[in-house]
Amino acid sequence: MPNLVLLGIQGSGKGTQAYLLKKNYGFDHLNIGSLLREEMKKKTDIGNDIKEYMLKGDLVPDKYIFSLVGPILHDNLKGVILDGFPRTLKQAEFLEKRMPVRCAIYFELDDKIAKERLSHRRVCQNCQQNYNLLLNDVKKDNKCSKCGNPLELRMDDNSEAINRRIAAFHDETKPVIEFFKDRDSLITIPATKKPEQIHQEIVYILGLAKPA
């Protein structure tokens, strides 16, 4: 199984596609944003240091990211989906030295639609499942349909932090897209298609075989 990188502006559906690939093909999903939120919850030294950046919607400095993901990345890893990493050129170079990646899949989406999606996103604080009010997948009781916990707005899904995260995407992560394009390993998919349709496209392009 190949290793994949998922790229795309906030709200472009990286997490949803990672979830489908994990569920249907057994990929491991490595979500760097979740890892960082875990550190904050556990109040580790890194967690305390990165809090300010995360709340504001700024990228966490590379040194913290490297100390978190460094021990995880190995050149013998297989079937891993990197979601939310790399987001800077330095991170892309760091990754390239440590682990082979078949391709990066870039979910292309306008800023305007991205902002709309984020402000309508709700997250289960218990199991981290994402929901979107625009897709009508939230029940009237505003509870997670998987575990029953109340859904909440993520701390950085307010308009100020959303704008800063989107700016960081353009300034810092766009060069990462070029990085993979230069290596002929970029696949671009419009993120406005339905999640299941995007999933089928990825499966087809990568020639994934259904697990027995």
Catalytic residues: 14, 87, 121, 154, 165
Q: How many CA atoms lie within 13 A of 191 on its CB side?
A: 23
In angstroms, what is the minimal distance from the CB of 148 to ligand ADP? 23
Find which of Zn ion, ligand ADP, none residue 53 binds, CB within 5 to 8 Å per kind.
Answer: ligand ADP
Count the site residues for Zn ion by CB under 5 A: 8
Exposed/middle/buried for residue 70 (C-beta within 10 Å: 0-12, 13-18, 19+)? exposed
Min separation Cβ 16 and ligand ADP, Å: 12
Place of tokens 């289960």: 124
d(CA 41, CA 44): 8
Site membership for Zn ion, residue 139 (CB under 5 A)? no
Q: Applying CB under 6 A, does 59 fall inside the site for ligand ADP?
A: yes
The answer to whether residues 7 and 84 touch, using CB atoms and an 8 Å cutoff, is no
Q: Shortest approach of ligand ADP to residue 104 CB, angstroms? A: 13
Residues 22/119, Cβ–Cβ less than 8 Å: no
For Zn ion, give the closer residue by CB, 48 or 126. Answer: 126
First to last CA, the chain: 14
CB of 185 to ligand ADP, least distance (A): 18
Among 55, 127, 135, 153, binds Zn ion (CB under 5 A): 127
Report whether 109 contacts 198 (CB < 8 A): no
Both tokens of residue 163?
A: 């704008």
Q: Which is nearer to Zn ion, 142 or 192 (CB)?
A: 142
Closest CA to 1 of 67, 64, 108, 80: 80
Instruction: Kindly tell me which residue out of 36, 73, 81, 82 binds ligand ADP, with binding defined by CB under 6 A.
Output: 36
- Write out the residues near ligand ADP by the rule CB under 6 A: 10, 32-33, 36, 53-54, 57-60, 65, 84-85, 87, 91, 156, 165
List contacts with Zn ion (CB under 5 A).
124, 126-127, 129, 144, 146-147, 149
